[in-house]
Each structure stands twice: as C-alpha cells, then as structure tokens.
Structure 1
Amino acid sequence: MSKLLEVKNLKTSFKTHIGDVQSVRGVSFYLNKGEALGIVGESGCGKSVTMMSIMRLLPDNAVIEADSIQFDNKEISNLKEKEMQTLRGNEMAMIFQDPMTSLNPLYTIGEQLTEHLIKHKKISKKEAEEKAIEMLKLVGIPSPEKRLKQYPHEFSGGMRQRVMIAMSLICNPKLIIADEPTTALDVTIQAQILDLMKDLKNKLDTSIILITHDLGVVADLCTRINVMYGGIIVEEGTDEDIFYNPKHPYTWGLLNSVPNPKSDKKEKLKPIEGQPPDLLKPPVGCPFAARCKYAMKVCVDHLPPLFEISKGHKAACWLNHEYAPKVEAPIKGGEE
C-alpha cells in the first residue's frame, strides 16, 4: 500500500509574551492511500495543531518545523503560501468541529459550495451549481436545489455538518482531515455522520484523518490509530492493537473512560485523574508520568522511546522495556 502523507519530526510552537508554548514536540506518522487514520487524545494534546501545521492554517505567532512533510510524493514543508492555497481545498480539505462558525452566515449554502469549484477547477457558475447539487444529494440533504438558496441558520446542526462534508469533498480531494466532526451533535446524528463518512470513503476512495478525544468514535471508521498526549504520539497501532492489546497507561485510561455496551456488568467510568502537562515548560520525561500510577523514576527523568510491541504497534512507555516490572492492563475490554 502506497503512502499518501508522511510526516517526520514535526514540531510546532506558539510565541507568547510569557514564552513559547511547545504544542507539538516531534511527531512522526504516515497515512496510506484510501486509509482512515484516527488521532486520539484529550483536548490540548496537540491533535488539531498537528493537522493545522500540515495545512498551514495557524496564526502568525506559530513556528512550524519538520524534517519532512510529504504529500502524494511531493515535499510540501517548503511550499510558498500561494502553492499551499492551491493544495488546500483542492487536494486536501478540512472539516472543522463547529459547522456554525465554519460556514459564513452572510452567504447562501450555494455560494459557499460553488466558490471552491470556481476557484480551484476554473468552471462556470452553472456547472459549479450542478456539481454542488450533486454533492448535497451525495451527503443525504433532501431538495438540494432549494437548499442551495438557503442560509446556514436555516439548517440544523447535523445538516450543517453534512454541508461541511459536501464542501470538503466537492473538489475530489485525496485527503480529508475531520477535526472532531461530531462534537456538537447528539448521539443519533453523530452515528449518521460517521456512517456517512465511512460510506463516502469507500465510494470515493478518499483518505481520512479523524481527530477526536473519544476512542469510541474511531472504532468503526479507522483501521489505524495514533494516541497523542503532551504534544507527542504515545502509542500507535491498528484498531485491534489499540482496543485489544493497548500498551500505554494513557490508552488504558482512555479506554476506561468509554462505556462498554457489550459488558454484562454495570461498571463506573474511570476518569483519568489530574491535568495535562503545561507545554510552556514540558516535562523532560514521559508527559503522562505525573498522572500515571505506574510511574517510575526513569519515567520522570527520561522521555521513553517508541518501543516496538509488534509489527506496526509501538508504545512510548518504559513499562515496555525488557527490565521493567510486568503490569497487566487494567482495562474493561475492547470496543468494537
């Protein structure tokens, strides 16, 4: 399987009046063509900043460094802004977490959908409207001809998110980055949006990166998962590795905070105690050490490498060292 995106040693910091916030601290990962990859972690762990660094959608006080960012066999870390504008929306697109603030309330849905096509594909307004109607039908919006003339406030939250998905797909991009696309929606609409994304991925063979704080959301859509914490990737593997054989205490904590619908017992959800690290002064050791009940002295003093558990499964935890004490994962069992 060929790689669509490969990121090596990405670092992103924000210059502030009190110092540099080191939001992303040396992240490396890849995405295969036609694959769905989940990036999971709590708010503030660096998921969204990682993706917005790749797309160069960050404010002026952001400093982005990387050894390499390759997209479709092309190095994009050194592209000029005009070249990035051609790439964004055309070959890679982003679905943001709040569709109400992502859609412009002053323009009709039709105007916002056709703008992308006219800019990137250089087609007529009539052709762009026909394509927009086709895309609204594809994402399950009834009466698309009528809906084109309406404004965002005339749509429900779920319908607005469908419009955002249509907007991201309209130029047939190779990659869609979905940043918490179901956060503001109720569980029924959430399931519909995830089913829609899965269906579109299979139909259009589009690659997807799904950013979320909820492991339950990635279970059905993603075949590989990266778990982020404190600006680094602490565990990576297939969905089976992460759900059935997790090897990092932070992943255990995330799994224990998700309800297990297949369990016969009534079990209380176990929150992860404590707060994420201050990235103005990141810890020198494992970023999770202060919240981890298995932490050893080495965890506080030294950042663990990504230990290889099996092919494609790695975890940055000193418990995976051959001389570390053996600890059984205290999780309730995998989700499907």
Structure 2
Amino acid sequence: MDELLKVKGLKTSFDTHIGEVKAVRGTNIYLNKGEAIGIVGESGCGKSVSMMSIMRLLGSNGKIVDGEIIFNGKDITKFTEKEMETIRGNKIGMIFQDPMTSLNPVLTIGDQLTESLIKHKGVSKKEALDEAVKMLSLVGIPSPEKRVKQYPHEFSGGMRQRVMIAMSLICKPELIIADEPTTALDVTIQAQILDLMKDLKNRLNTAIILITHDLGVVADLCTRIYVMYGGLVVEEGTDEDIFYRGKHPYTWGLLKSVPNPKSDMKEKLIPIEGQPPDLFKPPVGCPFADRCDHTMKICMEKQPPLFEIEKGHKAACWLCHENAPKVESTLGGDK
C-alpha cells in the first residue's frame, strides 16, 4: 500500500506561565492511503495534540519542537502558513470534537459548507451550493435543498455531526482526522455516525485517523490502533493485537476499565488507579511506572524502547525484554 502520512519523532510543547508542557514527546505514526487507524488513550495523553500538530492548529503558545510530518512525500512542518492553507480543508479535512460548538451559529449551513470549496477549488457560489446539497444528501441529511439554507440551531446534535462530516469531505481530501466524532451523541446516533464514516471511507477511499478514548469505536472502524500515554505511543498493532494480544500494562488497564466490544463474556470493570504523569516534568523512565502493578527498577530509571513483538506489533514496556520476568497477561495468555 502507498504511504500517505508518516509522523517521525514528533515533539510538541506549550509555553505557559508556569513552564513548558511537553504534550507530545516523540510520536511515530504512519498511515497508508485509504486506511483507517485509531489513536486511543486517556484525556491528556497527547492524541489530540498530535493531530493538531499535523494540521498546525496549536495556538499562539504551541510549537513543534522536533520531528517530521511527511504528507504525500513532503515535510509539512516546514510549510509556511500560506502553504498550510492549501492543505487544511483541501487535502486534509478535520471533524472537530464537539459538533455543538464547531459550527458558526450566525452563518447558514450552506455558507459554511461552500466556504472551503470556493477558496480551494475556485468554483462559483452556485456550483459550490449545488455540491453542498449533494454532500448533505451523501451524509444522510433529508431535504438537503431546504437544510442548506438553515442555521445550526435548527439541527439536532446528530445532524450537526453529519454536517461536520460533510464539511470535512466537500473538497474530497485524501485524509480525514476525526477527533472524538461521537462525543455527546447517544449510542444510536453514535452507531449511525460510525456506519456513515465506514461507508464513506469505502466509497471515497478516504484515509481516516480516529482519535478517541472509546475502544468500541476503534474496534468497529479501524484496522490498526496506536495506544498513547504520557505523550508517547506505548503500543501499536492491529485491532486483534491490541484487543487479544496486548503487551503493555496500560493497554490491559484500558481494556479492563471499559466493556470489551469483542468479548462475549461479562466481566467486572476495573479502573486504572492513580493519575497520568505531570507533563511539566515528564518522568525519566516509563510514564506508566507509577500506576503499573509490574514496575521494576529499570522502569523508573529508563524509558523503554518500542520492542517488536511480531511484525507490526510493538510495545514500549520493559516486560517485553528477553531478560524480563514472565508476567501473566490480564487479558488471558502469557507476556
């Protein structure tokens, strides 16, 4: 498969009045054309900041400290703001986290849908409006000719999210970044939105990066998953690797703390004790060491590399070292 995106050693920080927050500390991610991958982890683990770094939407106090973001063979970290404007909304679309606040309340849906099309494709207002109607129909909004003239407050939450998806797709981008696209929606609407994204991916061959803390969402849509913690990728692999052959204790903790969408058994949910690391002063060792039941001396002293378990499956845990003690996986099986 052709590689569309490669993030290499990405480090992103934010300057605050009390110091530098090292939000992303060396992330490596790749994505092939037409592929869907998931990035999961607790709030504050760095998943959204990683994607905002790709879009260069970090705010005035955010900066990419190190690393490369290779999109279609070009390092876009070196792009000027004007060059990035040709990428955002055109080559890379984004579905933001909250559909209730992501749409402008004083502009019609049609105005908001046509803006990027007119800017990037140079089409007329009428052509853009015709395309907006087609796109609303594509994402399952009834009476699109009428709806395109309405305002966001006239739409339900699920319909607004469909509008956000239409907006991200209207320029036919090669990549869509979906940041918690089912947040604040009830489970029935969540399922509809996920089915819609899956259908659009297959029909348009659009690559998707799905950011979420909901493992059920990634199980349904994504073929590969990255688990982030403390600004780092701590495990990566296929959905089968993560759900059935997970090797990092943090992955085990995530799976035990939420209903497993791929399990037929009823199991008691167990929360992960403790708090995520302070990214003002990140730990020198494994970021999960303070919360892990299997912490060794080396875990506190040295950050583990990503050990390759098998092709495509890696985990940043000292328990994966050949000289480490054998630990029984809490997912069933040996580590």
Query: Under TM normalisation by the shorter chain, which class is it?
Result: over 0.9
Percent identity reads 77
Residue 45 of structure 1: aligned partner: 45
The Cα shift of 1:266 comes to 3.9
Contact kept, 8 Å, 1:256 with 1:332, in 2: the verdict is: no
Letter in 2 for 1:91: K
The Cα shift of 1:66 comes to 3.2
Contact kept, 8 Å, 2:9 with 2:28, in 1: the verdict is: yes
Letter in 2 for 1:211: I
The Cα shift of 1:257 comes to 1.5
Could you tell me how far apart the structure 2 residues matched to 1:120 and 1:98 are?
Answer: 25
> 1:1-52: per-residue Cα shift (whole Å, max 9, x none)?
1110011110001111111000000111110000001000000000000000
Structure 2 unaligned regions, length at least 5 = none
Could you tell me how far apart the structure 1 residues matched to 2:8 and 2:297 are?
Answer: 29
Letter in 1 for 2:177: I
Could you tell me how far apart the structure 2 residues matched to 1:86 and 1:162 are?
Answer: 24
The Cα shift of 1:189 comes to 0.5
Q: Report the aligned-residue RMSD.
A: 1.2
Could you tell me how far apart the structure 1 residues matched to 2:261 and 2:117 are?
Answer: 43
Could you tell me how far apart the structure 2 residues matched to 1:215 and 1:157 are?
Answer: 22
| 2:225 pairs with 1:211 | no
C-alpha change, 1:263 and 1:80, in structure 2 (3 Å) is: closer
> 1:191-213: per-residue Cα shift (whole Å, max 9, x none)?
11011000000000000000001
Could you tell me how far apart the structure 2 residues matched to 1:229 and 1:261 are?
Answer: 21
Secondary structure of 1:66's counterpart equals strand
> 1:72-95: per-residue Cα shift (whole Å, max 9, x none)?
112211000000011100000110
* Aligned counterparts, 1:103-122, within 5 A: 103-122=103-122
The Cα shift of 1:267 comes to 2.5
Residue 313 of structure 2: aligned partner: 313
C-alpha change, 1:262 and 1:100, in structure 2 (3 Å) is: closer
Residue 243 of structure 1: aligned partner: 243
Secondary structure of 1:77's counterpart equals helix
Contact kept, 8 Å, 2:108 with 2:149, in 1: the verdict is: yes
Letter in 1 for 2:21: V
TM-score relative to the length of structure 2: 0.97
TM-score relative to the length of structure 1: 0.97
C-alpha change, 1:79 and 1:307, in structure 2 (3 Å) is: same
Could you tell me how far apart the structure 2 residues matched to 1:306 and 1:141 are?
Answer: 44
Contact kept, 8 Å, 1:43 with 1:213, in 2: the verdict is: yes
C-alpha change, 1:262 and 1:50, in structure 2 (3 Å) is: closer
Secondary structure of 2:78's counterpart equals coil
Could you tell me how far apart the structure 2 residues matched to 1:266 and 1:35 are?
Answer: 32
Could you tell me how far apart the structure 1 residues matched to 2:89 and 2:100 are?
Answer: 19
Secondary structure of 1:48's counterpart equals helix
The Cα shift of 1:260 comes to 3.6
Secondary structure of 2:220's counterpart equals coil
Q: Which moved more, 1:136-145 or 1:320-329?
A: 320-329
